[in-house]
Amino acid sequence: MAGIRIEHVTKSYGPLAVLKDFNLDITDGEFVVFVGPSGCGKSTMLKILAGLEEATSGRVLIGDREVTDLAPGDRDIAMVFQNYALYPHLTVARNMGFGLKMRGTPAAEIDRRVKDAARILGVEHLLDRRPRALSGGQRQRVALGRAIVREPQAFLMDEPLSNLDAKLRVHMRAEISALHKRLGVTTIYVTHDQIEAMTMADRIVIMRDGEIQQIAAPDAMFAEPANLFVAGFIGSPGMNFLKSKLTMGSGAGTVSLYGQDVKLALPAEPLKALDGREVILGLRPEHITEGNSPVTFTVSPRLVESLGSEKYVYCDIPEANRTDIARAAGVDDERGDAQIARLINAGDIALGRPVQLGFDPARLHVFDAETGRAVR
Amino acid sequence: MRARPSRQALLYLGVVLTCGVLLFPIYWLVITALSPADSLHHLPPKFWPDVPQWGIFREIIEQRPIPLWLGNSILAALGSVGISMFVSVFAGYSLSRFRLRGGPSLGLFILTAKMLPATLLVIPLFGIFRQLGLIGSLWSIILAHATLIVPFSTWMLKGYFDTIPRELEQAAMVDGCSPLGAMFRVILPVATPGLAATALYGFVLSWSDYAYARTFLTNAQTNWTANLGITTMKGEYITNWNQISAAAVLVALPIIVIYLFLERHLVGGLTAGAEK
């Protein structure tokens, strides 16, 4: 096992830069998730780590060893692919033992390690089958098994759960996390699913257009997103964005939301530079509550989705507060004129019937409307 | 939803008619072989001989060196397929996997070779082989057939390799294979149906050639292939069509047997290669 250091890695295809100055230090045993929308460069970075793609510039170190120019097989890493990439002509046992055989491990040792790994993953009874005779979940386990028998310095996983159905995905997510705790091997996991990132990662690296947007632990990223993109991407449903002019009053910033003056809980110092300018205010759907709050407003729901234990209430944002920043950072195409409230154990909420909602101004995130950066 | 009975009957009728059109020449070949020579020109024609002449096969084998001709055909086919597969596997794999400068146009250029009629190439090939001293040698048709097989099989294999996910060789490389090792240990075994279909296509192409054999081998009787040999059975004044038909049946038999055995794999190979 070893830590991984990525120094100033870039990747370009002609004039198209898909990775821009990527720097990251991963400590030994850490579970790091690269997350971002498709085309953000996360899979490219993983392939550069694996040696399947060449970096245009920069260095990659695994442990103390520079591996930038080494072949994938010489890096002592194992990879789990999105489509499993099991060898269809080999049995499960030989699939799992292939990497050891390539390294000249004695047959008895291969046999022992394959059996050990199969026991850990519960696929002992499948060892003589071929991949086509396995279900999706079993294939996924075998692909993991092929990685763990090698006992490598690090695991690289490229969206390994995206081919599974929703229920199995949740199950395997927990299994991979448990496996990581048990083996303690440094793991880099690529996904476009922020829920996987939030639930599995020690640290999340969120990317967009080849650039790292923020590196933080899941809770920290949720609580203090660095910019509008991160705020919209992390969390489900995504953060609501509202627009307002900021005015600095007596020691505190004030914005106008739902026709009311709302005093911001943020210290005045970082807000001063934005006095008189427009800011974007972020409010998570789960921070909107029903009934009395420090700030309340009355709306008519235009859509109510009930998930049993909770309700998503969609309602219009007043004209003055609308922004053109789509929720979830452009991942879905919801317009900026609606906000979502996520109400736990909500009462009877019906379409068109006015309902009183509210929030605590301390929950508001403030972003510079020009740069998109969070103000703290 | 079930098709209506009348529709289904029409469909079956269509299938039967198509099969009839396709199989009638083969049926007629067998009938001609089994009929006595003097009954072939009867009108109305007989659709099954009164006394099938099964002895015709032994007769022609005793009269003509048919086993030698078949052996030459097999050697020529195996040789040309061997060379073609060696070249096409690497060429098809490169076209499928590597981004080469001008790769797509290079691929199309290879295919244009297939578009030239074989007869157009006979004369330049004759000139080349004469300079190399290959006229009359089996090598002449082995090489000539390879020039026909390589372009098509390169494309067929490229199509097949395209359907095999790249992640397979990436996984093999992470597991410790070199790029070439990944190709030999993982991609080629996975591509076996495609390889078999392609090889068989080449085999049939070589087996059915007449023009090249006629041009390069006419003066070397011991190297005649089956197709060339059969045509020499046609006399200037008298032609025993039943003997020629019997020889044709013997020559067609190996290919039919191979198809019957490999049919399942071949269909799988061809369709899997065609997907994408």
Indicate the angle between helix axes B241-274 and B5-34, nearest 10 degrees: 140
Q: How many CA atoms lie within 13 A of A223 on its CB side?
A: 6
Residue B101: count of CB within 10 angstroms of its CB: 6
Is the Cβ–Cβ distance between A140 and A176 less than 8 Å? no
Please choose, from the candidates A64, A94, A90, A58, the residue with its C-alpha nearest in 3D space to the C-alpha of residue A76: A64
Q: Which tokens in the block code for residue B138?
A: 């089996």
Compute chain A's Rg from CA coordinates: 24
Tokens 């900021």 label which residue? A246
B189 and chain A: CB distance < 8 Å anywhere?
Answer: yes
Q: What are the extents of the domains in chain B? A: 1-54, 64-274
The per-residue pLDDT for A164 is 86
* Interatomic CA distance for residues A34 and A45, integer angstroms: 9
CB contact under 8 A, B173 and A52: yes
Per-residue pLDDT of chain A (376 residues; tens, 9 = 90+): 689 999 999 999 989 999 999 999 999 999 999 999 999 999 999 999 999 999 999 999 999 899 999 999 999 999 999 989 999 999 999 999 999 999 999 999 999 999 999 998 899 999 999 998 999 889 999 999 999 999 999 999 999 998 888 888 898 999 899 999 999 999 999 999 999 999 999 999 999 999 999 999 999 999 999 999 999 999 988 899 999 999 998 778 899 999 899 999 888 888 888 889 999 999 999 999 988 889 999 998 988 998 888 999 998 888 888 887 755 544 444 556 788 999 988 778 888 789 999 999 999 999 999 999 999 8
* Interatomic CA distance for residues B215 and B202, integer angstroms: 20
Q: Looking at chain B, which residue has its C-alpha nearest residue A84?
A: B167
Is the Cβ–Cβ distance between B137 and B193 less than 8 Å? no
The per-residue pLDDT for B274 is 37
DSSP A227: B
B180 and chain A: CB distance < 8 Å anywhere?
Answer: no
Residue B106: count of CB within 10 angstroms of its CB: 14
CB contact under 8 A, A85 and B175: no
Residue B94: count of CB within 10 angstroms of its CB: 16
H or E segment to which residue B155 belongs: helix B138-162
Please choose, from the candidates A168, A232, A218, the residue with its C-alpha nearest in 3D space to the C-alpha of residue A189: A218
Best of B174, B188, B190, B192 to substitute, by most chain A Cβ atoms within 10 angstroms, is: B174
The per-residue pLDDT for B184 is 94
Residues A232-368: name the CATH superfamily. Nucleic acid-binding proteins (2.40.50.140)
Is the Cβ–Cβ distance between B223 and B140 less than 8 Å? no
Is the Cβ–Cβ distance between A336 and A326 less than 8 Å? yes
Strands A186-191, A154-158: pairing is: parallel
Q: Which tokens in the block code for residue B265?
A: 């794999």
With a CB cutoff of 8 Å and minimum separation 6, the contacts of B242 are B32, B33, B34, B35, B36, B37, B40, B53, B56
* Interatomic CA distance for residues B28 and B36, integer angstroms: 14
Q: Across-strand partners of A33? A: A189, A204
Most confident of A346-350, B85-89, B258-262: B85-89
Give per-residue pLDDT as tens, A210-231: 999 999 999 999 999 999 999 9
Q: Is the pLDDT of residue B108 over 50?
A: yes
Q: Which tokens in the block code for residue A37?
A: 């929308």
The per-residue pLDDT for B47 is 82
DSSP A271: H
Is the Cβ–Cβ distance between B33 and B245 less than 8 Å? yes
* Interatomic CA distance for residues B230 and B66, integer angstroms: 9
Q: Is the pLDDT of residue B275 over 60?
A: no
> What is the rounded (10 degree) CA torsion for A350, A351, A356, A360?
100
What is the distance in angstroms between the Cα of B162 and the nearest Cα belonging to chain A? Answer: 15
Of A51, A82, A98, the CB nearest to B175: A98
- Share of residues in chain B with pLDDT > 90 (%): 49
Tokens 């390690």 label which residue? A113
Q: In A175-276, where do the E strands start and end?
A: 186-191, 203-208, 211-216, 240-245, 247-248, 253-257, 260-263
**DSSP string of A312-325, one letter each residue:** EEEEEPPGGG--S-
Residues A4-227: name the CATH superfamily. P-loop containing nucleotide triphosphate hydrolases (3.40.50.300)
Q: What are the extents of the domains in chain A? A: 4-227, 232-368
Strands A365-368, A260-263: pairing is: unpaired
- Give the type of residue at A89: H
Tokens 């392939």 label which residue? A47
Q: Is the pLDDT of residue B267 over 70?
A: no
Q: Is the pLDDT of residue B276 over 60?
A: no
B110-134 average pLDDT score? 87
The CATH architecture one would assign to domain B64-274 is: Orthogonal Bundle (1.10)
Q: Reading across the β-sheet that carries A278-283, which strands appear in turn? A: A240-245, A278-283, A365-368
Which residues of chain A have a CB within 8 Å of the CB of B167?
81-83, 85
Is the Cβ–Cβ distance between B153 and B110 less than 8 Å? no
With a CB cutoff of 8 Å and minimum separation 6, the contacts of A57 are A8, A9, A10
Which residues of chain A have a CB within 8 Å of the CB of B265?
none
Q: Which tokens in the block code for residue B125?
A: 């090939």
H or E segment to which residue B91 belongs: helix B66-97
B174 and chain A: CB distance < 8 Å anywhere?
Answer: yes
Higher pLDDT, B112 or B128: B128
Is the Cβ–Cβ distance between B131 and B182 less than 8 Å? no
